[in-house]
Amino acid sequence: QDYRLGIGITYIEMNVGNVKEVDRRGFDLTTPYRIFSFSADSDQEKEEWVEAMQQSIAEALSNSEVAERIWAVESNRFCADCGSPKPDWASINLCVVICKRCAGEHRGLGPGITKVRSLKMDRKVWTEELIEVLAQTDPESPFGFQPPFVPTQAAGETTEGSGCSPRSHRAPSTAGGLAPLFPPPPLPREPSASPAALPQALCVAVTTSDLAETQALLFCGAAVTCATGDPQCPTPLALAEKSGQRLQMEFLLHNRTSGRAGLASTVLCRAEFSRRWCTLQDGVLSYYENDRNAVPNGEIKVEEMVCLVNNPPHAHGIESTFELYTESERLYLFGLESPDSAREWLKSIAKSFVHPSAEELLALDFERIGRLHYKGGLNLEQAKEGWFALAGSALHVSCRDGERQDPLQLRKLQELCASFPGGPVAGFGGWLIPPAEAGVAGRTLYIQGERKLDFLGWVHAIQKAAGSAGDTLSEQQLTESDVPLLVDRCIDYITQCGLTSEGIYRKSGQNSKTTNLLEMLRRDARSVRLKEGEHQVDDVANTLKRFFRDLGDGLFTGRWGPDWLRTTALEDEEEKIGEYRRLLSTLPTVNRATLKALINHLFRVQRFSGENQMNTHNLAIVFGPTLFQTDGKDYKAGRVVEDLISHYVKIFNVNDQEMKKQQDEIMAIMKMREAASSGKQQAGDFICTVYLEEKKTEAEQHVKIPATMTAEELTFEILDRRKIVMKEKDYWSCFEVNEREEAGR
């Protein structure tokens, strides 16, 4: 009877409801106090009810105050893309008002291009400043920006079947494979600066009230994080804050993470931080509006924490900042004015979430610490959980089972690569291949991340720590014998291709090629492969000389350099050799190893002086001023180098075994080059025994391996012989072990 009379059994406030489909004709309306289940007679009826309820919820949550204020500007009463009346959505970084249908198109472009918000429902985002920004950006004014973007290959396709009638408008300059949604007419208001001057013009514009000029500069390529040249205000946002330009700050804030060229940013300024009162107790990090509030704004449980990062000073406009990553792929950024307080917070938070078995990591002055999975050694089937800490250029690893790992010296890695396989499961990985140490087989370490956000941070941090960090020897990428990889690459190439080259080191290579090669090697020598035909001997030789001439503090160091020069005055040869040996022992480890490697190389070069015309004296004339970084007028620099080459065996304690090894290497290189020049087949192919999975007779294969065969090609060769089909998630590894099984890779 109540149904027939139209009397309801309950009253539901739709602003607290949520609709969810449960089966073909059923759906639930969930409220904080009860779940109501409904069943429709047909699929169509269910869809109509669900759509009606969702619309009702949207209306119940909406507030038209913001929309009415923005619609007060005549041009904002129509969708910027299609012209539909009363649009109730907006792109807050592009400063345009759009209809519901066009908002869907914008969402498809991603938040890196356009950030879509509702005028009626997203109440928190609509600050007074943002409302004023949209009110001042008039699409019908001479400024006239309307900048929605789609990928180039999809340009023009997005509007098919949308019911929108495009109107002409201006899009910002395109870059990176993006094109305007509609063909734009010329823009009457162009930025007042050339492309090269955009950053400087932006820094000036943000200190004024001319918001249109800032928008023109930013949309046409100026970087929101461009350098200002002011240490106190390193970004345009900081300049706007200092100048009290509220609207400029609001516009820059919403564009700091846009994906267009020149707008990418991970740097914040003081204005973007909110002051909060924080506590860490009972395994929970809580943050409050102030110290009088009893209810926290938010909480982070220690079991959810996976990574903690200590940022460099003033990284975000505040003295000290640190980042906290959680299991749910969230990043929290905290800042403090006191470095001591920041250090205490870092240690306290790290101690709360790092496993007790990895407590030794807490004593490190770490830049990044957290939990990751890894595989190592010969067992790559199952990943272990470990705790990692990055301190300087060393990566420390601690396992839950108590197993201790020696720190990985990242600048000494043989190889470093990262892979990010696709698929529905978040799995990422990177290979770290340390060098083989004396008496210990080198190992391969495969680090896995289950969360993309914090793992990408690990990858970038490890890549940075594994690269060269400055212009001194100790800051370079190194070989296992502590020689800069740049020096080793050049010496190795010249030994193989240039020992008999006439005038080696005396002739100058092409300046532009030398500059480019030196820049590449300094950036990442590990990834550079010098190849005959691609690189000229004189260019490589010139690169090596320029590296030593530009070296910070020099090879002999500023402290000990004068003592080396004074030693040339000693008349007694044995006394002179003894003094050189004493000075050699005072050099830093990397300098000492580098000097030995270089003099060893020059000792080899002068042994071919009959062909290359570079005897000991000639080499000393070239390298004396280079190594001591002088103008060449002081003959003592050349005398030092000449003495070191002449007495190489005694000064560097080279034994007969080392000399024989060097001689054998030189003979092998010369034979290969003679074979190549005579047109005969070069040596290199050899027969090798390869074992599949286990070292047993029935598992062995004899394979002819050319010098150019890669480990991947060898693996596929063996699998093909045994008729083993590779599956999608199969991992096969190839290990090379020397005859006595003393070293492997």
Whether residue 436 is predicted with pLDDT greater than 60 in this model: the reply is no
**In this predicted structure, what is the pLDDT of residue 20?**
86
Q: Do residues 307 and 346 make contact, with C-beta atoms less than 8 angstroms apart?
A: no
Q: Do residues 277 and 290 make contact, with C-beta atoms less than 8 angstroms apart?
A: yes
**In this predicted structure, what is the pLDDT of residue 326?**
92
Residue-wise pLDDT tens digits, 371-382: 998 887 556 667
Q: Which residue has the higher pLDDT, 55 or 140?
A: 55
> Which residues, listed in sequence order, are joined to residue 432 by a DSSP beta bridge?
416, 445
659-to-181, 490, 499, 609, 668 alpha-carbon distances in Å: 71, 21, 17, 18, 14
Whether residue 482 is predicted with pLDDT greater than 50 in this model: the reply is yes
Lowest mean pLDDT among 16-20, 237-241, 345-349, 541-545: 16-20
**Number of helical H runs and strand E runs in the chain:** 23, 23
Please give the DSSP secondary-structure letter assigned to residue 355: -
Q: Which residue has the tokens 């004023």?
A: 132
* Cα distance between residue 393 and residue 539, in whole Å: 30
pLDDT grade for 424, boundaries at 50, 70 and 90: very low
What's the whole-number mean pLDDT along residues 392-416?
82
**In this predicted structure, what is the pLDDT of residue 167?**
33
In order of start, what are the domains of the chain with their CATH numbers?
A: 2-61 (2.30.29.30), 64-137 (1.10.220.150), 197-255 (1.25.40.20), 354-435+442-466 (2.30.29.30), 474-652 (1.10.555.10), 684-744 (no CATH)
Residue 603 identity: F
What's the whole-number mean pLDDT along residues 123-128?
83
What's the whole-number mean pLDDT along residues 114-141?
81
Nearest CA to 236 out of 261, 214, 266, 213 is that of: 214
* Token digits of residue 545: 């000389």
- List all residues 6 or more positions away from 360 whose beta carbon is below 8 Å from its beta carbon: 398
Residue 280 identity: L
The Cβ of residue 338 has, within 10 Å, a number of other Cβ atoms equal to: 11
**In this predicted structure, what is the pLDDT of residue 591?**
96
Burial of 370 (0-12, 13-18, 19+ CB in 10 A): buried
Whether residue 124 is predicted with pLDDT greater than 80 in this model: the reply is no
pTM: 0.58
Nearest CA to 100 out of 119, 124, 75 is that of: 119
Lowest mean pLDDT among 271-275, 640-644, 708-712: 271-275
Residue 168 identity: S
Please give the DSSP secondary-structure letter assigned to residue 40: -
Q: Compute and round to an integer the Cα radius of gyration of the chain.
A: 34
* Cα distance between residue 593 and residue 587, in whole Å: 9
- Find how far residue 382's CA is from the centre of its chain: 27
**In this predicted structure, what is the pLDDT of residue 425?**
36
Under DSSP, is residue 515 helix (H, G, I), strand (E, B) or coil? Answer: helix
Phi, psi of 477 (to 5 degrees): -65, 135
**In this predicted structure, what is the pLDDT of residue 175?**
30
Task: Please compute, for residue 696, the number of CA atoms within 13 A of its CA located in the half-sphere on the CB side.
Answer: 4
Q: What percent of the chain has pLDDT over 70?
A: 81
* Cα distance between residue 564 and residue 637, in whole Å: 8
Whether residue 60 is predicted with pLDDT greater than 90 in this model: the reply is no
**In this predicted structure, what is the pLDDT of residue 727?**
79
Q: Which residue has the higher pLDDT, 183 or 459?
A: 459
Measured N-to-C along each axis, helices 485-497 and 656-677 cross at an angle, to the nearest 10 degrees, of 50
Whether residue 430 is predicted with pLDDT greater than 60 in this model: the reply is no
* Token digits of residue 247: 């609207």
DSSP string of 190-226, one letter each residue: --SS-GGGHHHHHHHHTTSS-HHHHHHHHHTT--TT-
Whether residue 149 is predicted with pLDDT greater than 50 in this model: the reply is no
* Cα distance between residue 610 and residue 532, in whole Å: 23
Positions of E strands within 453-558? none
Whether residue 339 is predicted with pLDDT greater than 70 in this model: the reply is yes
Phi, psi of 489 (to 5 degrees): -60, -45
Q: Do residues 271 and 239 make contact, with C-beta atoms less than 8 angstroms apart?
A: no
Whether residue 420 is predicted with pLDDT greater than 90 in this model: the reply is no
**In this predicted structure, what is the pLDDT of residue 184?**
33
Helix (H) or strand (E) holding 326: strand 320-326
* Cα distance between residue 219 and residue 540, in whole Å: 43
Whether residue 267 is predicted with pLDDT greater than 60 in this model: the reply is no
Residue 284 identity: V
Whether residue 58 is predicted with pLDDT greater than 90 in this model: the reply is no
Q: Do residues 281 and 248 make contact, with C-beta atoms less than 8 angstroms apart?
A: no
Whether residue 601 is predicted with pLDDT greater than 50 in this model: the reply is yes
Nearest CA to 456 out of 343, 564, 591, 323 is that of: 323
Whether residue 307 is predicted with pLDDT greater than 80 in this model: the reply is yes
What's the whole-number mean pLDDT along residues 86-107?
89
Please give the span between the terminal C-alpha atoms of the chain, in angstroms, as a whole number.
84
Helices (H), 137-261: 198-205, 211-219, 236-243, 246-255
**In this predicted structure, what is the pLDDT of residue 265?**
36
* Token digits of residue 322: 């640190």
What's the whole-number mean pLDDT along residues 654-674?
80
Lowest mean pLDDT among 15-29, 201-215, 634-648: 15-29
**Averaging pLDDT over each range in 225-234, 349-358, 715-724, which range is the top one?**
349-358
* Cα distance between residue 379 and residue 403, in whole Å: 15
Whether residue 351 is predicted with pLDDT greater than 50 in this model: the reply is yes
pLDDT grade for 161, boundaries at 50, 70 and 90: very low
**In this predicted structure, what is the pLDDT of residue 478?**
92
pLDDT averaged over every residue in the chain: 80
* Token digits of residue 499: 């020992």
**In this predicted structure, what is the pLDDT of residue 234?**
82
**Averaging pLDDT over each range in 60-64, 78-82, 580-584, 660-664, which range is the top one?**
580-584
Residue-wise pLDDT tens digits, 65-84: 888 888 888 888 899 888 88
> Which residues, listed in sequence order, are joined to residue 370 by a DSSP beta bridge?
307, 388
What's the whole-number mean pLDDT along residues 502-519?
93
* Cα distance between residue 597 and residue 599, in whole Å: 6
Whether residue 176 is predicted with pLDDT greater than 70 in this model: the reply is no
Burial of 307 (0-12, 13-18, 19+ CB in 10 A): buried
**In this predicted structure, what is the pLDDT of residue 262?**
32
What's the whole-number mean pLDDT along residues 168-183?
30
